[in-house]
């Protein structure tokens, strides 16, 4: 905006117009800024409005790496399949041949990869005529694929690269051609993923039925463009299962279509009205995500109203203590205490005009903020859903959008099953190989 205006030459009416226009421009810029600087936008999306940290030095004494207390991981290697003695006939330092063995041996374990050998097999399927049904059929073999010319191992690799490693088809083809010496085109890679999702459709259907029987479900959603039209990818999950669903709207009856009208479990969500409407309509127990609530209160209150922010954090601590209470008879007491404390917080917060929108959100949560006290199996946050949805968010950043309804279905089926197998500590590749 250009503020270099000679105000002394302007009339009163012109000055009023200038002020009104500037106010409108400021409001427009503030609305645009809220798309990035808000409690629900991840830091990775705000790099362009963050200060450049290049050249900054770490604090003195700061340690790089994992935080204190991190368990870390240990690489478990199998036993050596081949032992190779290594001798030398000259000194490695000066090259002198006047050497002798000292008797000490240093063991060095090396993990090797033998390049897989691609074999082309030709099956001669005998034709048979049945005298009972009068049909002509071909003899079958367990290694002959139902469709196409590639066996289960190659099909599993392509689907693994696409949905687990998140590679585009051109890189999958390059890997298959260069590393595995398997001739393939991008169109073939795409067809293999489509055939894979078709074959696993029955497993996806079983997963849909299992989700309806779970005691606790975490739910979340994220936007994704499908051929230029905005859709929403929904996730319904817990620590053992994941079910992905596409929907054209961020609302409607998607929750009811997924969980059914007779769902008897509990739902944990970020507070989006679609979940609360479903829970209210079908009398389902609903838990609100405290991580979202704390982020929003921190964003609005930490600087301008620090006492309200600390008070809200104290209510969260009370809720955690109520959830951890071992005496069932004391849980309702903790519930009423936390509920009364939040009611007082809302009364104090809504006095401030800039907090009216925030207090409305908190008030809409009502008793759902404290569901975990009466039902300790319910988590206080919706992190399970957000972590489960994260791989698809990464895919969205890589590919930009999906091109067709077939692509939607592929991602629904494959990401649901792969996420579920991971949570159940199954080897994704070998499970794919056994299932396809």
pLDDT, average across residues 36-54: 62
Question: pLDDT band at 202, cuts 50/70/90?
Answer: very high
Condensed to tens digits (0 to 9), the pLDDT of residues 292-310 reads: 999 999 989 998 999 999 9
Question: pLDDT band at 1, cuts 50/70/90?
Answer: very low
Distance CA 356, CA 328 (A): 36
pLDDT value of position 13: 82
Question: pLDDT band at 193, cuts 50/70/90?
Answer: very high
Q: Are 279 and 258 in contact (CB under 8 A)?
A: no
Q: Are 239 and 419 in contact (CB under 8 A)?
A: no
For residue 144, report the phi and psi dihedrals to the nearest 5 degrees: -85, 120
H or E element in which residue 127 lies: strand 127-129
* % of the chain at pLDDT higher than 90: 55
Q: Among 188, 164, 184, which residue's Cα sits nearest to residue 175? A: 184
Q: Please, what is the end-to-end C-alpha distance for the chain in angstroms?
A: 61
pLDDT value of position 59: 63
Condensed to tens digits (0 to 9), the pLDDT of residues 388-404 reads: 999 998 888 888 888 88
Q: Are 306 and 325 in contact (CB under 8 A)?
A: no
pLDDT, average across residues 36-44: 65
pLDDT value of position 390: 92
Most confident of 5-19, 61-75, 153-167, 392-406: 153-167
Q: What is the DSSP letter of 402?
A: B
Distance CA 97, CA 85 (A): 19
The average confidence (pLDDT) of the chain is 88
Q: Among 341, 274, 284, which residue's Cα sits nearest to residue 311? A: 341
Q: What is the DSSP letter of 231?
A: E
Q: Residue 435: how many CA atoms within 13 Å on its side-chain side?
A: 25
Note the pTM of the prediction, 2 decimals.
0.80
Lowest pLDDT segment from 110-124, 277-291, 304-318, 334-348: 110-124
pLDDT reading at 4 higher than 60: no
pLDDT value of position 60: 64
Condensed to tens digits (0 to 9), the pLDDT of residues 161-178 reads: 999 999 999 999 999 999
pLDDT, average across residues 7-28: 82
pLDDT value of position 344: 95
Question: pLDDT band at 56, cuts 50/70/90?
Answer: low
Distance CA 404, CA 411 (A): 11
Q: Are 392 and 385 in contact (CB under 8 A)?
A: no
Condensed to tens digits (0 to 9), the pLDDT of residues 414-433 reads: 999 999 999 999 999 999 99
- Residue 81 has which token pair? 């399949």
Distance CA 237, CA 220 (A): 9
Condensed to tens digits (0 to 9), the pLDDT of residues 230-271 reads: 899 999 999 999 999 988 888 778 999 999 999 999 999 988
Condensed to tens digits (0 to 9), the pLDDT of residues 126-153 reads: 999 988 888 999 888 888 888 889 999 9
Strands (E), 186-332: 216-226, 229-237, 242-247, 266-269, 285-288
179 vs 34, higher pLDDT:
179
- Residue 323 has which token pair? 């959830």
418 vs 59, higher pLDDT:
418
Q: Among 424, 405, 430, which residue's Cα sits nearest to residue 197? A: 405
pLDDT reading at 61 higher than 90: no
Distance CA 271, CA 365 (A): 7
Distance CA 141, CA 4 (A): 83
pLDDT value of position 432: 93
Question: pLDDT band at 76, cuts 50/70/90?
Answer: confident
pLDDT reading at 26 higher than 60: yes
Question: pLDDT band at 57, cuts 50/70/90?
Answer: low
Q: Among 304, 302, 264, which residue's Cα sits nearest to residue 285? A: 264
pLDDT reading at 53 higher than 60: no
H or E element in which residue 54 lies: none
């Amino acid at each position: 905006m250009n503020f270099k205006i000679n105000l002394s030459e302007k009339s009163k009416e012109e000055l009023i117009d200038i002020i009104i226009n500037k106010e409108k421009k400021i409001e427009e810029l503030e609305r645009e800024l809220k798309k990035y600087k808000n409690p629900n936008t991840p830091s990775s999306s705000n790099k362009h409005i963050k200060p450049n940290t290049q050249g900054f030095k770490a604090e003195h004494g700061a340690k790089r790496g994992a935080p204190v207390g991190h368990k870390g991981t240990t690489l478990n290697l199998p036993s050596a399949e081949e032992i190779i003695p290594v001798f030398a006939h000259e000194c490695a330092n000066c090259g002198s041949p006047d050497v002798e063995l000292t008797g000490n041996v240093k063991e060095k374990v090396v993990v090797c990869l033998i390049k897989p050998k691609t074999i082309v097999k030709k099956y001669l399927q005998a034709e048979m005529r049945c005298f009972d049904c009068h049909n002509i059929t071909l003899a079958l073999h367990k290694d002959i694929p139902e469709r196409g010319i590639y066996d289960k191992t190659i099909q599993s690799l392509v689907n693994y690269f696409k949905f687990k490693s998140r590679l585009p088809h051109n890189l999958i083809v390059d890997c298959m051609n260069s590393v595995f010496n398997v001739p393939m085109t991008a169109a073939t890679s795409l067809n293999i993923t489509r055939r894979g999702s078709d074959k696993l459709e029955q497993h996806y259907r079983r997963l849909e039925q299992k989700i309806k029987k779970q005691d606790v479900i975490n739910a979340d959603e994220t936007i994704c463009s499908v051929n230029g039209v905005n859709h929403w990818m929904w996730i319904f999950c817990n620590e053992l299962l994941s079910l992905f669903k596409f929907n054209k709207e961020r609302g409607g009856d998607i929750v009811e279509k997924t969980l059914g009208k007779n769902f008897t479990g509990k739902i944990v969500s970020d507070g989006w009205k679609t979940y609360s409407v479903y829970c209210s309509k079908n009398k389902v127990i609903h838990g609100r995500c405290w991580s979202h609530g704390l982020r929003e209160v921190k964003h609005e209150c930490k600087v301008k109203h620090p006492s309200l922010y600390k008070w809200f954090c104290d209510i969260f601590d009370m809720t955690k203590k109520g959830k951890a209470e071992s005496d069932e008879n004391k849980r309702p007491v903790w519930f009423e205490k936390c509920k009364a404390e939040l009611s007082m917080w809302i009364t104090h917060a809504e006095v401030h005009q800039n907090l009216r929108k925030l207090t409305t959100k908190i008030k809409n949560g009502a008793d759902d903020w404290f569901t975990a006290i009466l039902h300790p199996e319910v988590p206080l946050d919706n992190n399970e859903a957000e972590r489960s949805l994260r791989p698809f968010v990464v895919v969205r950043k890589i590919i930009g959008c999906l091109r067709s309804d077939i692509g939607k279905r592929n991602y629904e089926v494959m990401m649901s099953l792969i996420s579920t197998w991971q949570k159940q500590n199954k080897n994704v590749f070998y499970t794919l190989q056994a299932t396809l």
